Structure 1
C-alpha cells in the first residue's frame, strides 16, 4: 500500500499535539460560559459564542491531524465503511437534514427546545451513524449515492 507523505507532515503532528488541546480547552470554556447564560440575549451567551468561534478552528486543525494519523494505518473495515459513506456526502447530508427535521419540527416529533445537551448530542451521533451507514450500504451496491446521481443528471442536463 502506498502511503501519503503529506500525512506524515510536521504540521499534522503539531495540530494533534498543540492545536487540538488548545481548541478543546478554549471551546469547552466557551461552552461553559454559554451554559451560564440565563436568557438567550445575555452577554455570557455572546462571550461563550465568541470563544467557541475563536477556538473552533484550532480544534478542527487538531481533528484533521488525527485523521491524517489514522489515514496512515493499514486498511480496515471501519475505514472502508467511512470511505464509502464519504463518497456520498450529499446523500448523507440530506438524510441527516430529513431525520433532524422529523425529530425536532412540529410536523414530526416536535422535540425542539425540549431536550438537554446530552440527549441532543446522542441523537446527533446516532443520526450521523445512520446517515453514513445508509450512504455506505448504498455505495456498496451502486457506483454513486442516490442524490449524487440526481445532481449529476441535473448538472449534465442538455449536454449529452
Structure 2
C-alpha cells in the first residue's frame, strides 16, 4: 500500500534547484574557480546581478537542499532498522553518480559529498531527540567558530602582516572551455574539483551535515506535513526575514563594493562570504516558511514546482548537461561570452524549462529516469 507523498518537500526541493543553479552558473559560464568576481561585477547590470546572487542565493539553497536530504531520509528508513542497508546502498549509488558528475560535467558537484555524509548520517537515524539536538549544536557551533577564525586570520594576514592573498591565476579548465575538447576538459575538471573540495567541505560541509541532522529530527514530527501551524510558521518567517535579510544585504554590499574597487581585498571578500554562509540559515528559514505558507494557502502559485522536486536528481544532472552544452566549446561555446546579468537570467530560463520537462515527464511516468534507476539499484530484494 502506497502512502500519500507530502507536497511541501517536493515544492521546496524544486524551488531549491533554482537557487543552486543561480549560484553554480557563474562558475559554469564565467570563471570555473572564482565565479562572478572582479571584471564580472563591473557595471550596473553585473553589479546588480552579483548583489542579488550574494544576498539571496549564495549559501542559502544548499542548506535548504541539505535539510531536505536529511528530512527525506525518513521516507527511506521509515523508522525501521531493516531499511538501513537500503539507505547505505542509496548513498553508495549517489557517490558513484557524483563521481561521474564531477568528472564529466560539473566540478562543483554536491551529490558525491551527500553520499559520503549520508553514510555518516546512518549512525544518527535511531538516536534520541536530545542526542540529535546536541550533535546539531556541536557541529553547527564548531563549523561557525572555525569559519570565523579563518576569516580573522585572513584579515590579520593581509592588513597586519601585509601578506598578499591575491586570487588565483586563470585555471587550465578555463583555457580548455575557451577552445579545447571534451576529453581535454576531464583532467582539468578533476584538478579544479580536487582544489575546491577542501574549500567546499570547509565552507559547506559542517553546516550541511548540521542541516542533515535538523532534517532528520524535524521529519519525526512531520514538520513539512499538513496541517500548518500558522502562528509558528509566521514566527519562523519573521525571524528569518527581519534578522537574516539585512545581514545578507550588508554582506553582499560589502562584497560587491570590494570587488568593484580598484584594488580589491581578498580578506574582505572572504570575510563577507563567511558572514553570508554563517548567517545563511536565517534566510533559508524564511524560504521554508514562505513555501509552506504558499503550499497551504496559495497552492496554485507553487505546485508547478512539485514535479521538478519529485525528480530532483534528474533535474540537477540535466542542469549540468544543458550548461555544458551552452558554455562548452563542444556545444555553443559561450564560456566567458556572456555577462553576469545574462547568466543570472539564463539560470531562471533553464530552471523553468526543466520544470516544464519534469511536469510533462511525470504525466507519463511515476518517477524521473535517474530516480527510477536509483530505486531499482537500492530497493530491498
Secondary structure of 1:111 counterpart: coil
> Which of 278, 281, 285 lines up with 1:64 in the alignment?
285
Give the drift of 1:46.
5.1
TM-score relative to the length of structure 1: 0.79
Asked if 2 retains the 8 angstrom alpha-carbon contact of 1:24 and 1:59, the reply is no
Q: Partner of 1:120 in structure 2?
A: 343
User: How far apart are residue 65 of structure 1 and its match?
Assistant: 0.9
Runs of 4+ in 1 over 4 A off after TM superposition: none
Question: How does the TM-score come out when normalised to structure 2?
Answer: 0.36
Return the alpha-carbon distance in structure 2 between the equivalents of residues 130 and 31 of structure 1: 30
Task: Tell which deviates more after alignment, 128-137 or 27-36.
Answer: 27-36
1:153 shift after superposition: 1.5
> Contact (CA 8 Å) 2:314, 2:369: kept in 1 or not?
yes
Point out which structure has higher relative CO (alpha carbons under 8 A, 6+ apart): 2
Distance 1:60 1:104 in 2: 32
Report the 3-state secondary structure (helix = DSSP H, G, I; strand = E; otherwise coil) of the residue aligned with 1:143. Answer: coil
Is this contact kept in 1: 2:319–2:350, CA < 8 A?
A: yes
Deviates more, 1:93-102 or 1:55-64: 55-64
Assess, with a 3 A threshold, how the Cα gap between structure 1 residues 81 and 17 changes in structure 2: closer, same or farther.
same
SS of the residue corresponding to residue 329 of structure 2 reads coil
> How far apart, in 2, do the equivalents of 1:71 and 1:109 lie?
39
Instruction: Report if aligned partners of 2:291, 2:302 keep a CA contact under 8 Å in 1.
Output: no
Q: Deviations over 1:94-146 (max 9, x none)?
A: 11000110111111112112221111111111112112222233223322111
State yes or no: 1:4 paired with 2:222.
no
Gaps of 5+ in 1: none
Residue 28 of structure 1 corresponds to which residue in structure 2?
253
Instruction: Kindly provide the CA deviation profile for residues 1-35 of structure 1, in whole angstroms up to 9, marking residues without a partner as x.
Output: 94322861634321111112211231232133234
Matched, 1:19 2:224: no
Pairwise CA RMSD: 2.6
SS of 2:265's partner is helix
Tell me, in whole angstroms, the C-alpha distance in 1 between the residues paired with 2:311 and 2:339: 31
Instruction: Select 1:140's aligned residue among 339, 346, 363.
Output: 363
Between the two proteins, the alignment pairs up a number of residues equal to: 154
